[in-house]
Structure 1
């Protein structure tokens, strides 16, 4: 039995407990690496996360709203170390393929949350007594988490293959079998019983002044029973003098210290009462009373629980990924583990690829509702490589150019986070940065004008990109005339080709898509013309049917603006009809037919 008088009983120095004392394991980072020591962390453009809709992906991955910042950090790290990506992919495969693992890990999250709450209480403790109570709760939840993990890994058996989970299993097994842990499991219930038997209430004596106002108070006793309030009214109790009551039964209502409220959320701890001198006196008394328990807990100071603190967000990350994969597959959409190609290849091959954000927008909020999106989402291919690394993408308005461009960036982020990508098959080289140049909301107070603002953002991108980056342009240089825009865009293409960077340039500048002009320039990255497909209506119909298929093809030379005008009621025929109905046009030559003939 552990006693405060014999602390030497657990003062063991057995080297077999080394992993117990300082366990170091992560499901995101291989041994020896973390987000501080890993040098292969990519760069982001100023607006890239917003342009690519990363916030929506974070919300999908985050099963518990309290881990938003951790999910953002994992995605935004943009790690391009292949060993880290492999490490995460293998862990995710175990979560997907090991029977029952995801379900049991989700149960573990409840214990980890209680562990985190105990840590929070220790950090916010305003007295020794509260800190000791928090430490006791922390060690209780630590043992429960270790025992649950041991059970999870025993159930998984030989089905685990990833280095990360196998390393965690070995550490948990050593901890659970260690002498310190075994003593801890035996002694914690006794410590809890002692803690609960110490104090449940206190008796306070209050002095009143001549006007019966409370002016002084002192502690009278510490009790092991809790007081109860009177369910009847105060005057009812006074009038019923013959009714016998317990010494712990009050004659008035039982008042409670309110919980703390932060950002509209009720926290698990109550408001701090230690601001009052009376309760400071109580703290001093409790320090003496809880001394033996504090001494007993101090013997476990060598137990390092820090690896559990980061385990929760990591498990949430993988469970969120598993649910996302399962929902997409259930909706008839392909997802796959991407093959990681060498960075020097500067390639990205995606077969039957789609934009994840588009799929998320179409998925029903109810995760249990059956859906089939296979007929709603058009699948496309991507082929960055020696055959071409500069895509000049043209086509009709609302024909899928932005969706395609954005989707490539999202797939790259998912790949480098160690997740599956929205495609049937994928082979991707990591990038050292993702930079976007999408239209921004116009700001009236800009001194440089829209073109100047675009130029400043372009300059910032070229200050940072390398041949291993990914750059996504969407309607860049649209703030000036077509002639000037074409001139400037060709200059950009010249530099991008010379650098060899992977690029998508979605534009209405069909002249830019004459790739022979660009490919005659020096450089090792060829330009390819891609077109967002559309089919004109039969006969005299001007209606355009968008196919949303992105195919290698010379630019068609028009963007189907007339179709857009008709959809929004601003074609010449529609506007003439409106004016005639309003009787604003009186002359016969103002008919739609005559206007179109002029």
Structure 2
């Protein structure tokens, strides 16, 4: 395998190319699921658009299942978080990578070949300068690097820098014999009756110098010699590349000093034509070299953007007073999910952007005895916030990022399938209930026992009795699949049938009840007042719909409606 191929396969996201290929997803997180769990809002915090945003989203949606890869990425974040100098270094390298991408800007098709060659050498200079700065930046933090990915980055930058210093001296030498031989040209000039030049053409390019031409001098500018001695010495003080650039630029200046007449343009055109093949061959070598190795930097800047953005998010959350931690990664087949003091990261960002919001932290523990949860509680009691928090944590974990919690042990899932109650889509023939059923059917046709299924008020578009029957079948199916799942619902009757489901339904899974968000409070005006706590705990369902409390909170209890109508003088 060539060195160039090896260089372009060095990645901060993947330990090696074989792992990257194995991790290629056939089914990734769907757009509907991204919307349901609030992933797009999280990506907004990276502050990028266009191709950058698409890349960041792909890292999240192509959920990595390899714990070695996840730890490989987490190690990089550890290094950056623990060493501000490394963050500064990577920020500098990102800026340099952007410069490298801008180096090769196509020139005009009708530009003279000599000018194209000068531009090619300038591109080489810029690339070398970028490498030099990149090397200097990473050497400052070299001893602090522990993450395998960052050590690979350091090694490849050193390799490219050394290779450039070597190739910079020999890349032109491949064409040296052809290119440095020309030392003079022979002109053919037609004169008018007054012996003034009318037409001219280059007859030959010679490998010897012609230093005296009195008659030609008088015709053109009166000098006794050629303007400059253009011998190209590869071992000269500045090296062959700089000598060529200097010679070509001075030649161009000399042409300008002589005249911009049709005669001179004709001579330049002839010289350009005669040197075309040599110059093209030389430019091909230069561009092949730059393009081969600069692609590494083009790919690198996207990966750097991901890690630098991830670190900025951690710092932003810390400034709010919350915590993000490195999760412990366990193999997929262990199905581990044990999280303490988790919270919804998007809610934390809302708190930072507006007035402070009380962020309640909760726990979750999936196991063989409780891998399917039915979550009940009052409206606006925190059910949706909780299940979104769980989903985002799983996505963040598999992207190789810290998660919003105090402590966590997690196994990867092969995908997250969501079904959230939504308005009827105008472009479907199913109707709202049909649309819900269609999406649920898709889930059971694609999910495995390594998936994570998140349902939120599913089938709520039908009557309560029908919804209960259909929801019960869904839970039976989840248990049969033995999948990790959580079903947030207003159907307390569904949660009350958990014992029946566990007893009568075949399958290894076990269903448990979670209750969200309300404590009974005694009030002078209302003995059945409930206060939302947003805490989610394992407990039997309350058996109440909290309808009276909800009605009063929105001012639509019978007493409140009567009071409103009385104030309006309607009664």
What's the TM-score bracket when you normalise by the shorter of the two chains? 0.7 to 0.9
What SS is found at the alignment partner of 1:427? strand
What SS is found at the alignment partner of 1:44? coil
**1:431 alignment partner in structure 2:** 413
Is 1:334 matched with 2:318? Answer: no
User: Are the equivalent residues in 2 in contact too, given 1:350–1:427 (CA < 8 A)?
Assistant: yes
Of 501, 507, 510, 1:518 maps to 501
User: Are the equivalent residues in 1 in contact too, given 2:370–2:509 (CA < 8 A)?
Assistant: yes
Is 1:165 matched with 2:154? Answer: no
Is 1:104 matched with 2:89? Answer: yes
Q: Which runs of 5+ in 1 are unaligned?
A: 1-14, 204-217, 224-281, 366-370, 586-598
Of 28, 31, 37, 2:16 maps to 31
What SS is found at the alignment partner of 2:18? coil
What SS is found at the alignment partner of 2:517? strand
Of 492, 498, 521, 2:474 maps to 492
**1:354 alignment partner in structure 2:** 343
- In 2, Cα distance between the equivalents of 1:434 and 1:131? 53
- In 2, Cα distance between the equivalents of 1:500 and 1:219? 85
User: Are the equivalent residues in 2 in contact too, given 1:19–1:174 (CA < 8 A)?
Assistant: no
Of 383, 392, 403, 1:421 maps to 403
What SS is found at the alignment partner of 1:80? coil
TM-superposed CA distance for 1:584, in Å, is 2.7
What SS is found at the alignment partner of 1:547? coil
Relative to 1, partners in 2 of residues 1:476 and 1:449: Cα closer, same or farther, differing over 3 Å? Answer: same
What SS is found at the alignment partner of 1:423? coil
User: Are the equivalent residues in 1 in contact too, given 2:317–2:324 (CA < 8 A)?
Assistant: yes
TM-superposed CA distance for 1:579, in Å, is 1.9
Is 1:545 matched with 2:565? Answer: no
What SS is found at the alignment partner of 1:432? coil
Bigger Rg over Cα: 2
**1:578 alignment partner in structure 2:** 564
Deviation sequence 1:448-468 (CA, Å, 0-9, x none) = 321111101111111100000
**1:270 alignment partner in structure 2:** none
What SS is found at the alignment partner of 1:544? strand
Of 135, 138, 142, 1:150 maps to 135
Alignment of 1:423-462 (within 5 A): 423-443=405-425, 446-462=428-444
**1:92 alignment partner in structure 2:** 77
TM-superposed CA distance for 1:293, in Å, is 5.8
Is 1:363 matched with 2:349? Answer: no
- In 2, Cα distance between the equivalents of 1:108 and 1:187? 29
Alignment of 1:106-145 (within 5 A): 106-119=91-104, 121-122=105-106, 126=109, 135-136=120-121, 138-145=123-130
RMSD of aligned alpha carbons: 3.3
TM-superposed CA distance for 1:147, in Å, is 1.9
User: Are the equivalent residues in 1 in contact too, given 2:341–2:407 (CA < 8 A)?
Assistant: yes
- In 2, Cα distance between the equivalents of 1:139 and 1:46? 43
- In 2, Cα distance between the equivalents of 1:85 and 1:287? 57
- TM-score under structure 2 length normalisation: 0.77
Is 1:54 matched with 2:36? Answer: no
TM-superposed CA distance for 1:194, in Å, is 6.0
**1:559 alignment partner in structure 2:** 545
- In 1, Cα distance between the equivalents of 2:556 and 2:269? 77
- In 2, Cα distance between the equivalents of 1:381 and 1:189? 66
TM-superposed CA distance for 1:533, in Å, is 2.3
What SS is found at the alignment partner of 1:101? helix
What SS is found at the alignment partner of 2:429? coil
- In 2, Cα distance between the equivalents of 1:394 and 1:222? 88
**1:530 alignment partner in structure 2:** 514
User: Are the equivalent residues in 2 in contact too, given 1:343–1:431 (CA < 8 A)?
Assistant: yes
Of 364, 368, 383, 1:382 maps to 364
TM-superposed CA distance for 1:319, in Å, is 0.5
User: Are the equivalent residues in 2 in contact too, given 1:486–1:512 (CA < 8 A)?
Assistant: yes
Of 334, 338, 341, 1:345 maps to 334
User: Are the equivalent residues in 2 in contact too, given 1:392–1:506 (CA < 8 A)?
Assistant: yes
What SS is found at the alignment partner of 1:419? coil
- In 2, Cα distance between the equivalents of 1:43 and 1:322? 25
What SS is found at the alignment partner of 1:100? helix
- In 2, Cα distance between the equivalents of 1:577 and 1:550? 35
User: Are the equivalent residues in 2 in contact too, given 1:20–1:175 (CA < 8 A)?
Assistant: no
- In 2, Cα distance between the equivalents of 1:565 and 1:339? 44
User: Are the equivalent residues in 1 in contact too, given 2:521–2:530 (CA < 8 A)?
Assistant: yes
Q: Which runs of 5+ in 2 are unaligned?
A: 172-237
- In 1, Cα distance between the equivalents of 2:54 and 2:249? 37
Relative to 1, partners in 2 of residues 1:283 and 1:383: Cα closer, same or farther, differing over 3 Å? Answer: farther
Higher mean C-alpha displacement, 109-118 vs 311-320: 109-118
Deviation sequence 1:6-44 (CA, Å, 0-9, x none) = xxxxxxxxx9xx646751311111122365553466532
- In 2, Cα distance between the equivalents of 1:476 and 1:151? 57
**1:76 alignment partner in structure 2:** 61
- In 1, Cα distance between the equivalents of 2:446 and 2:5? 43
TM-superposed CA distance for 1:329, in Å, is 1.6
Is 1:466 matched with 2:448? Answer: yes
Relative to 1, partners in 2 of residues 1:582 and 1:468: Cα closer, same or farther, differing over 3 Å? Answer: same
Higher mean C-alpha displacement, 436-445 vs 459-468: 436-445
**2:226 alignment partner in structure 1:** none
